[in-house]
Amino acid sequence: MPTRSTSLLRLAAAVSLLPVAGLNAQVQHQHHPPQDNAEYAKILEDPSRDAWQKPHEVVMALELKSTDTIADIGAGTGYFARRFAHHAGKVYAVDINKDLLTLAAKGAPANLSTILADPDDPKLPTGGVDTIFLCDVLHHIGSRAAYYGKLRSALKPGGRIVIVDFFKKELPVGPPPAMKLSEQEVRKELDDAGFRQVKSFDFLAHQYFLVFQPR
């Protein structure tokens, strides 16, 4: 996970969801981020996000089973985690911001649990997760090589890591290209960490959608 302060991290995550036209003003305030998590929540849950994030299609593509356990890393307000809870047996909403996790848990199905993680440790149960999902967050994580090892330890036999993140180019949404990881970079990092790509989807206009399993 990221290595900066919690407030700055969540601002970065929120900025990654903003239209490019609004990025410059937001980035200028990164050194003085607002203290109200409600601002982050409003951005993360903006209904206009659905048009390009296609959450229903993403969830359906994962073909979750009622017996599956899925962990949403960087879950924030639970945008995806709450949706997963209607399809999987157990959902872990993982984040380093306890206030956003409180929002994620509010009104969520009973099979959703929150995990207050450390920046360098998702604190997932060893061998307890079928799917680890990271959407629009991987490019914020520091020391990813070590972090991948912790994710691998959390996977059940046959488990998978799912990465959804922005293409490394100018887009109408998302952060500037300099902040992003390309598909090639992600594939190489996961390959170096002992994973192989087993599937990909191309229905998202602004993001790659990759699935990896341990070799």
**Can you give the CATH number for the domain in which 205 is found?**
3.40.50.150
- Residue 52 maps to a domain: yes
Would residue 127 be called left, alpha or beta, if left means φ above 0 and alpha means ψ between -120 and 50 degrees? left
**DSSP helix/strand/coil, 152:** helix
pLDDT at 39: 67
pLDDT at 31: 30
- Residue 158 maps to a domain: yes
- Residue 16 maps to a domain: yes
Average confidence (pLDDT) per 10 residues, the chain, 215 residues: 41 40 29 52 80 97 98 96 98 95 95 96 98 94 95 98 97 92 97 98 98 97
- Residue 25 maps to a domain: yes
101 near 95, Cβ under 8 Å? yes
pLDDT at 47: 80
- Residue 203 maps to a domain: yes
- Residue 210 maps to a domain: yes
**Domain of 171?**
6-214
Domain count of the fold of the chain: 1
pLDDT at 32: 34
Of the candidates 16, 8, 9, the residue with the CA atom closest to the CA atom of residue 33: 8
- Between CA 104 and CA 112 the distance in angstroms is 9
- Residue 1 maps to a domain: no
pLDDT at 156: 98
- Residue 190 maps to a domain: yes
